Structure 1
Amino acid sequence: MTTGQAVPVPASVSPHAQQWLSIPKAESTYPAQDDTAGWLAMIEQADSAIATQFTSQPLPVSTEDETIAGVPVFVVTGPGVADDDRRIHINFHGGGLIMGGGAVCRAMTGISALSAGLRTWGVDYRMPPLHPFPAALDDAMAVYRAALEIREPHEIVVAGGSAGGNIAAALLLRAKDEGLPMPAALVLNTPELDLTESGDSFVTNAAYDNLLSSLREVNELYAAGQALDEPYLSPLFGDVTGFPPTFLKTGTRDLFLSNTVRMHRKLRNAGVEAELHVGEAMPHGGFGGAPEDQELDAELQRFLTRHTAQH
């Protein structure tokens, strides 16, 4: 069995994972930076396809559409979450910093809530081309401040996958700079932490990650003229001293493998407790619900149980 690029699929992973790896990689082309209509049309088409994928089967969750500090937030509660469990899992969705809003965010928040086993706030942050940096980070800060008004820091988890990992890590850098307390834990799932794409895996995994290609044009659109290595844009280059315990997940085929392992080393060198989980043959974002994903969800829930206080 091979992918569309004739990359062998290993027998070392589950049948579900093998099927996921056999999906041909879709190559992306992007409009010119100033073609706002072109970007909006591309995003709408991509979100429609993603929504079909994520909403094909209903999830065993309840979802409330709320506005918190002026930001749309989906509050999702999964099975087994007690009414008196005060813990909040603030999650930032993926989508390359331009996609994944609205209905897609709503669906992905449900998946994140099941993975974490906590009541989850899915933040529907603003994105380019209409709202470039720092709009998303401003929204993240507004929601985090609102959470701190009703919960203690030890009751809050900040999390994000892919582009959402960028927002989550940048949020903690800015919160620290503004004197806000750190949450109980940080979760970074295959995070986009380096918009300059300087890591080794951007070359070595370019042909092996069947879900993701370089996002340089998108990163430039998001940055809106700011330097891509600025820490609020590329948190890998920020000062992570004082960060909370952090859970990091990636895979051996993930284009963002270097982002994740470099951040893990940076956290450890700063004295931060950090767990790194690397999935065999796993591409960006996981295997779409394979047993390997379920194993890592169990690891995440054990991590969050250790590092959050339930009252």
Structure 2
Amino acid sequence: MLKQLLIFLGGVVLTTLFFVGRSFLDSPPDSTFASAEASKAANEMRRQMAPHVVKLVTGDIEDRRKLLNDVFFTPRIAEARELYPVRETVMPIDSVYTEVFEPVDGVLKDNANRVLINLHGGAFMFGARTEGQLESIPVANVAGMKVVSVDYRQGPEHRFPAASEDVATVYRHLLKDHQPGQIGIFGCSAGGILTAQSVAWFDAHNLPQPGAVGIFCAGGGAVFGGDSAVISAAFGTNFASDNEMPYFEGTSLDDPLVSPFEHPRVMAQFPPTLVITSTRDLTMSAGLATHQRLLEEGVPSELHVYEGLNHYWYADTGLPESRHAFKVMADFFDRHLAR
């Protein structure tokens, strides 16, 4: 059983859990180094989600999914589409549903043979059809690149390694038309963890590694613990519990396909990796540890830590920090993917 595992912090869903037992009216102090827009957005998110906390924690899984989609994701996706215009199409790959995002003016010439795979967040329970859009739209626009967002299988309906298998299915399909070095993979929260798990899965199943990966709002394995648990608790953004994630029922952190960052040999197989985290994110320690372990294994790793921001803060895509992060992502994949 996977106790204290990965409260897999996907998208905004678990960001709301810290409201339980806390005053809905009190806000943590703003960081003097965060933008005024970011601080305002964090406080607005608290006010927006506060009326729905009980249902998010105790409701039926389908009701919780619908609530998050309606209240949180839908308005932010609309804003992202306005700020970062893209063309969107559906592309089923075998049994896996994917959505494809391309800049409205077309993919840049230099990126004609490149493609990114997005693995959405959502605690391995939420975010299908919505968080993938919110993560993919700005990256496709800013990078001038095609992004394929994967609607992988999640819990409680499915169990590990269903998501890893679905990622591998999409990856194999893209390898028919792309060299591995032309493919990048990125994800936030659960999607960041799944990105690391996918690298381990490719290694175990004799698939070539992609050209570069991005692990955002996450680490290469379990996210619970470390100094960030204490820091996030002080700011009211610690939403950890001992609950098991249904998707990981019956697995172990000793499994390199679950927590690759516990296995140096697996970490040594990683392609160049971009790690993005923030100081009030419960997953910050896991992200920092992942970056350090990659460096120890000689893997090129780049780390960006944003001050005073919570988990998956760039869901508000118009923030100055969000725009900066999208540019960082675009530049990283431009430097490391083959043309």
The partner residue of 2:147 within 100, 120, 145 is 120
Whether the aligned pair in 2 keeps the contact of 1:128 and 1:221 (CA below 8 Å) is: yes
Whether the aligned pair in 1 keeps the contact of 2:122 and 2:131 (CA below 8 Å) is: no
What is residue 6 of structure 2 aligned with on the other side? none
1:7 matched to 2:28? The reply is: yes
The partner residue of 1:52 within 74, 93, 102 is 74
What is residue 171 of structure 1 aligned with on the other side? 198
Whether the aligned pair in 1 keeps the contact of 2:223 and 2:283 (CA below 8 Å) is: no
Describe the shift of the 1:298–1:105 C-alpha distance in structure 2 as closer, same or farther (beyond 3 A). Answer: closer
Describe the shift of the 1:61–1:129 C-alpha distance in structure 2 as closer, same or farther (beyond 3 A). Answer: same
What is residue 330 of structure 2 aligned with on the other side? 301
Whether the aligned pair in 2 keeps the contact of 1:184 and 1:307 (CA below 8 Å) is: yes
1:214 matched to 2:243? The reply is: no
Q: Which amino acid aligns with 2:108?
A: A
The partner residue of 1:82 within 108, 112, 116 is 108
TM-score (norm 1): 0.88
How do residues 143-292 of structure 1 correspond to structure 2 at under 5 angstroms? Answer: 143-195=170-222, 197-208=224-235, 210=237, 213-214=239-240, 216-217=242-243, 219-238=244-263, 239-287=266-314, 288-289=316-317, 290-292=319-321
Q: Distance in 2 between matches of 1:120 and 1:215?
A: 33
Q: Distance in 1 between matches of 2:222 and 2:252?
A: 9
Q: Comparing both chains, which one has the higher relative contact order based on Cα–Cα distances under 8 Å and sequence gaps of 6 or more?
A: 2
Whether the aligned pair in 2 keeps the contact of 1:141 and 1:175 (CA below 8 Å) is: yes
Whether the aligned pair in 1 keeps the contact of 2:217 and 2:283 (CA below 8 Å) is: yes
The partner residue of 1:69 within 94, 106, 117 is 94
Question: SS where residue 194 of structure 1 aligns?
Answer: coil
Q: Distance in 2 between matches of 1:300 and 1:105?
A: 16
Whether the aligned pair in 1 keeps the contact of 2:116 and 2:147 (CA below 8 Å) is: yes
Whether the aligned pair in 2 keeps the contact of 1:160 and 1:187 (CA below 8 Å) is: yes
Whether the aligned pair in 2 keeps the contact of 1:97 and 1:127 (CA below 8 Å) is: yes
Whether the aligned pair in 2 keeps the contact of 1:188 and 1:248 (CA below 8 Å) is: yes
Q: Distance in 2 between matches of 1:271 and 1:4?
A: 47
Question: SS where residue 64 of structure 1 aligns?
Answer: strand
Whether the aligned pair in 1 keeps the contact of 2:222 and 2:286 (CA below 8 Å) is: no
CA-to-aligned-CA distance 1:256-310 (integer Å, 9 cap, x gap): 1011000000100010000000011121112423112212222222221111122
Describe the shift of the 1:3–1:114 C-alpha distance in structure 2 as closer, same or farther (beyond 3 A). Answer: farther
Question: SS where residue 303 of structure 2 aligns?
Answer: strand
TM-score (norm 2): 0.81
Describe the shift of the 1:231–1:198 C-alpha distance in structure 2 as closer, same or farther (beyond 3 A). Answer: farther
Q: Distance in 2 between matches of 1:86 and 1:172?
A: 21
Q: Distance in 2 between matches of 1:115 and 1:263?
A: 26
Whether the aligned pair in 2 keeps the contact of 1:161 and 1:285 (CA below 8 Å) is: yes
Q: Which amino acid aligns with 2:68?
A: A
What is residue 34 of structure 1 aligned with on the other side? none
Question: SS where residue 226 of structure 1 aligns?
Answer: coil
Identity among equivalent positions (%) equals: 29
What is residue 39 of structure 2 aligned with on the other side? 18
How many residues of Structure 1 are paired with residues of Structure 2 in the alignment? 302
Question: SS where residue 309 of structure 1 aligns?
Answer: coil
Which blocks of at least 5 consecutive residues in structure 1 are unaligned? 32-36
Comparing 78-87 with 219-228, which one deviates more in the overlay?
Answer: 78-87
